[in-house]
Amino acid sequence: MAREPLTLKAYAKVNLTLEVIGKRDDGYHNVATVMQTVDLADTLVISQAAQLEVECDEPSLLGESNLAWKAAVALASRVGAVPRGRIHIEKGIPVASGLGGGSADAAAALLGLNRLWGLKLGMAELAEIAAGLGSDVPFLLNGGTAMGTGRGDEIAPLPALPATEVLLVVPADSIDVKTPTMYRALRPGDFSDGSRTRRIASRSGGQALTSEDCCNAFERAAREIFSGLGSVWDSVAAVTRYPPRLSGAGPTLYTMPSSETERIRVAESLQGTDATAYLVRTISPEDRPRAASINQVQPTINQV
């Protein structure tokens, strides 16, 4: 059991592909997706406490509203324990952006509390708990490059992509109950058979990918539903080498490979909007620092 506070990084993800194949009997949808973690991250500090506490510098994510709280409760329930501990979250990943920030926090909470409480659960058991929290959470326990099927929670690790700089563009748009809304907005032409995902997965670890190779079933719907996204999308597309793609259910766009020069050019094109540009890099599990002391130095992310 760890007695000193643990500091963990919770890394964002982008969907290099996201194909929706069809609706399931349980009301969810079958998808095929290739996911990739990048080094934009939240920071969690997890420490001993007499009761469960979740603090966050984003006021809307305090306490029981945070997926990290649900992760702690689920983990404690699995072992028949009372959840105790303090989880302090500093957000670096924009909220509700399609980058998996809440899921990343839940995954980091499972890993940190497993260590803090001395449970010694294996990754397979943690993944079972993670699947009950959200489709992205099992992937974000390890991160790197992986293919997701089923609801997106059946994870098959893939060879790591070559280290690649990725430009993220995060509009300020938000909608309520985003994921159900986006799925309801899909039309027959937005569905596919998963073949593009399988093709990208077969290339992982070999030939470098560009965002021109990527796809997302929600792109048409996102342009219609997020009020400012279309104009941001067009502005970005006009000045980048490779076309922007949507991550998750949006509204974040990404293009890859990119560069600091391109980030500056995009930032200039976005003046007068509320969108933010981040230059990040793909990250694999071996690149991730282990849970460290509270004095761990955190990397910086270029943004405007």
- Print the domain residue range for 171: 165-281
The DSSP H or E segment spanning 224 is helix 219-225
Check whether residue 218 and residue 110 sit in a common domain.
no
Output b/e per residue, 204-235; b: 16+ Cβ within 10 A.
beeeebbbebbbbbbbebbbebbeebeebbeb
Check whether residue 129 and residue 265 sit in a common domain.
no
Whether residue 201 lies inside any domain: the answer is yes
Whether residue 232 lies inside any domain: the answer is yes
Check whether residue 211 and residue 138 sit in a common domain.
no
Q: Mean pLDDT over residues 19-48, rounded?
A: 96
Q: Mean pLDDT over residues 91-104, rounded?
A: 97
pLDDT > 80? residue 37:
yes
Whether residue 301 lies inside any domain: the answer is no
Q: What percent of the chain has pLDDT over 70?
A: 94
Mean pLDDT of the chain: 93
CATH code assigned at 26:
3.30.230.10
Check whether residue 149 and residue 265 sit in a common domain.
no
Residue 161 Cα distances to 13, 19, 58, 197, 244, angstroms? 13, 20, 32, 15, 19
Pairing of strands 6-23, 215-216: parallel
Catalytically active residues are 13, 136
Check whether residue 141 and residue 216 sit in a common domain.
no
- Domain boundary (142, 158, 174) is at 158
282-296 pLDDT, tens digit per residue, is 999 887 664 443 323
- Domain boundary (107, 130, 158) is at 158
156-195 pLDDT, tens digit per residue, is 999 999 899 999 999 998 898 999 999 999 999 999 999 9
Check whether residue 120 and residue 261 sit in a common domain.
no
Check whether residue 28 and residue 149 sit in a common domain.
yes
Whether residue 297 lies inside any domain: the answer is no
**Which of the four pLDDT bands, split at 50, 70 and 90, describes residue 46?**
very high
Check whether residue 51 and residue 138 sit in a common domain.
yes
CATH code assigned at 218:
3.30.70.890
The DSSP H or E segment spanning 122 is none
Check whether residue 110 and residue 173 sit in a common domain.
no
Check whether residue 74 and residue 114 sit in a common domain.
yes
- Report the number of distinct structural domains present in the chain: 2
Res 276: pLDDT: 96
Check whether residue 97 and residue 227 sit in a common domain.
no
**Which of the four pLDDT bands, split at 50, 70 and 90, describes residue 215?**
very high
- Domain boundary (158, 173, 208) is at 158
pLDDT > 90? residue 42:
yes
Res 286: pLDDT: 82
Check whether residue 16 and residue 139 sit in a common domain.
yes
